Amino acid sequence: MRASNGVSVAAMGFRLGVFVTAAVGFRPVVWAEEELSVELKGVGHKIVYETFQNDNWELLMCNADGSSPVNLTHTPEINELYPHASPDGTKISFVVDAGEGLAKSRSLYYMNIDGTGRTLVASNARQGCWKSDCSAIAYLKGEFERFSYTDYATKGIFIYDLKTGKHRQHPNQQIHHLYNLCWSPDGQWFLATVHAGMGFNHAILAIEADGMKVVNLGIPGCRPDISPDGKKVAWGPSDWALRVGNLDFSGPTPKVTDARDILTSENPVKIYHIDWSPDGKYVTYSHGPAVKRLGLIPEIVGAEAEGWNICVADPSQTNRCMEITTDGRCNKEPDWVFLEKKE
């Protein structure tokens, strides 16, 4: 739903809520659509995200400022979700939800950046992430054979080699109840959220990629994303903030220091799914109302989230951000797509 000035009703509600809370002492959001829009027109990288179009989940890719969106999937009978672009910008991994009721399933695929060459990686699998050299995809297996929307209903990390098509399990076979897996650029560590598993209530963990070491990073919240240079991490410490900190792998155990909020919101508008741009200059994320549908919280993969949109922000400042989608069609899980500059 759009207002007469072209701004989404969801965005208007967000700004109104921020204005009201600012009057009683909260920091207001510094919306910067006009100047950020000009900046982002010069950014060569794109953004891919999931969206609910005509009662079906599709993957769309757009320019950094939200212009020229293109549907990559066009599959009215199946649902594509959770896109993650390979670091070289040539491929996208994603999950497919297919079937209904007891026959419903979630599987992991990858395809070329233009939507061709769809390839099954694994059935009953989710939350894929790429190795920095694009040779492999790490993923989480479903905890049960029966489909579940629960994001932490997972058991084990597995690695799929694109060249050989072979799978191997992480050496630590006690890994379970992870979600939002990401891989450090040097290939040595995974970061993920754990919930009610591995002796933790809720934590963000660093997991040795080829060993048994598991480290609680001691930061609150969930859904970490490592910057392309491996020196920073972004995550959500709560439903109402997105935070960045310095990520240090040089010591005996990884650690996060100098954490600060780069984005804040107020109930009922949640902010989630942060992702670094390939040059580390921007982040993209999702925001929208905290309204459950069929008992599902809106930030979960596959949960409808009416009123949610994609935004881009400048992580060097606080709340310098803009919406790049405005239709509120459950736009979530954005991921940057690297594109080489043309000479």
Percent of the chain with pLDDT over 90: 88
Alpha-carbon distances of 86 from 12, 112, 113, 168, rounded to whole Å: 34, 10, 9, 20
The alpha carbon dihedral of 277, 225, 181, 171 has a sign of: positive
Taking only the tens place, the pLDDT of each residue in 44-102 is 999 999 999 999 999 999 999 999 999 999 999 899 999 999 999 999 999 999 999 99
Alpha-carbon distances of 69 from 19, 51, 80, 88, 240, rounded to whole Å: 31, 11, 16, 20, 28
H or E element: which one contains 37? helix 33-41
Bridge partners (DSSP) listed for residue 48:
61, 335
pLDDT band of 340, cuts 50, 70, 90: confident
Please give the structure tokens belonging to residue 21. Answer: 């809370």
Q: What is the pLDDT of residue 32?
A: 74
Percent of the chain with pLDDT over 70: 90
H helices, E strands: number in the chain:
2, 25
Task: Classify domain 9-337 by CATH number.
Answer: 2.120.10.30
| Domain extents in the chain | 9-337
